Amino acid sequence: MEPMIRRERLHRATFVLAGIYNIGWGLYAAADPDWLFRFADMEPQRHPQIFACLGMVIGLYGLAYFEVARRPAHGFALAAIGLLGKLLGPIGMVQLVATGVWPPKAMVLCLTNDLVWWVPFAIYLWDAWPAWRRTFG
């Protein structure tokens, strides 16, 4: 029998939404890799394939989030990796903006990809820790 975690239904819904969002974002970034540069009034990329590849990686995170939704008691490591990326991305973005490499408008990327997920991912990790520890600790 699969172990249960607190707020399991909430966590399943969160990670289904995160999976849908990431796959959708990844597909859009691959289809229109210059969108951020247009939005932020930045010079067009010389190699849009790099941003399209980023879209592929972000999309693959969506599959990991679907797995967390499928088995919440066993998704701690995948969600922890996801949250770590959602913390490191904004750190890099702040550096780009602070040094003037990118304009502040580009921070929209972190708002939807990272910041909105911090609290729900952190709550999940808090709730999933005991089950993960029992299984793998």
pLDDT in tens, 102-131: 999 999 999 999 999 999 999 999 999 877
Domain membership flag for residue 117: yes
Domain membership flag for residue 90: yes
Average pLDDT, stretch 28-37? 95
Domain membership flag for residue 124: yes
Domain membership flag for residue 47: yes
The 3-state DSSP class for residue 63 equals helix
Domain membership flag for residue 137: no
Domain membership flag for residue 77: yes
Total domain count, the chain: 1
pTM, whole model, 2 decimals?
0.90
pLDDT above 90: residue 41: yes
Domain membership flag for residue 136: no
CA 76, 82, 85, 90 dihedral sign is negative
Instruction: Please state the length of the chain.
Output: 137
Domain membership flag for residue 1: no
What domain range includes position 83? 8-129
